[in-house]
Amino acid sequence: MAKPSFFRAEQSSMAPDRSSDHSLPATVSFTRRRDLVFIVNPRGANGRAGGEWKKLLPFLRSRLGTDYNICESFTSGPSHAIDITREAIREGADAVIAVGGDGTLHEVVNGFFLGGKPVPNHDPKAAHTTALGLIPLGTGSDFARTLGWKNSPRDAIERIAKGLRSRIDVGVITRDGGESHYFINVADVHLSAKAGYYASKYKRFGNLCYVIGSLQAFFGHHNQDLRIKVDEGEWKVYSQVTALCIGNAKFFGGGMKITPNADPSSGNFEVVVLQDFKWYDFVLKLNKLYNGTHLSVKNVSSRRVHSIEVEEIGGSSGSIYVQSDGEYLGFLPMKFCILPAAIEMIH
């Protein structure tokens, strides 16, 4: 696994035309409190993110360079953003900024935790905690939609410059014998997760990848009976489940408002269950699913929960897909819990 590495993009003493390619050691020490680490996925936005980031740097320097020590790091592959985030937090960074889409943000959020606990600062006397930030540059920016943000990198930099922060919730997913996995947006089960799995293979087509993935997922799909336990209560059987969505935020799949009442600062999830849907139901009700008015549709239910466990019944084990924030996680059974106010976020 690649070691974290940072590149200093700007210091307050640097002139605007100085080079931004001065390498720092992998275990760089942040000597100022107001240090920002920008984690860039250069392959995001169908390979455009790296170039867009370079074009954005002059504006970023002009807005932030006098107040912050800016470091940038480019990811080299899957999970690299997790490692970079953990190192930045340990070294006392004031904030870690995800530059990319929901996939990059998802990895950065997972970097805030290790072994089921928040990653600690190396300095136990540190008076601040590392905040999370976002500059959307990817294929999808579903979490930004929940917060009412436009897909505008310059607007995101203005938010960072203002420095307003508040704590948001994070979801955690566990299974017997497995590591904890974290999500900030939406986790989902069965058809929607399977569609997301296939969509990830077609990201070169932009948001059209979600349509292609959905069409592919429909082939061979069967609704499935599931056992569900909510808030440590009794197990109940939900028959013919098509999809189950656990929302910390509202949107997934490139703008579908699947959990319209979810709020990442509410301290609970919104769970939406679609039952006994046929392929033509999605065609006829697609507009409602996208604009968030589907909760009144037949065979759609919604409730608020703090935790939910989901198991497969009546079928072959290991056939029900699970994903979170668009990232494939495997198959049922799994448990989903809310961690209220788990991360401080720049907004």
Cα(23)–Cα(5) distance, integer angstroms: 8
Q: Which two tokens stand for residue 2?
A: 């690649």
Question: What is the H or E stretch that residue 181 is in?
Answer: strand 181-183
SS3 58: helix
Instruction: Tell me which DSSP letter residue 248 carries.
Output: S
Residues ≥6 apart with Cβ < 8 Å to 169: 248, 264, 265, 266, 267, 268, 338, 339, 340, 341, 342
Strands (E), the chain: 7-10, 22-23, 35-40, 69-74, 95-100, 113-114, 117-118, 131-136, 165-174, 181-183, 186-190, 224-230, 235-247, 269-275, 300-305, 307-312, 321-324, 327-331, 334-346
The β-bridge partners of 73 are: 39
Q: Which of 35, 83, 102, 325 is catalytic?
A: 102
Contacting residues for 316 by C-beta, under 8 A, at least 6 apart: none
Residue type, 346: I
Q: Confirm whether 276 is a catalytic residue.
A: no
For tokens 């990059």, name the residue: 104
CB–CB of 174/135 below 8 Å?
A: no
Q: Which amino acid is at 312?
A: E
CB 332 within 8 A of CB 310: yes
Task: Report the catalytic residues.
Answer: 102
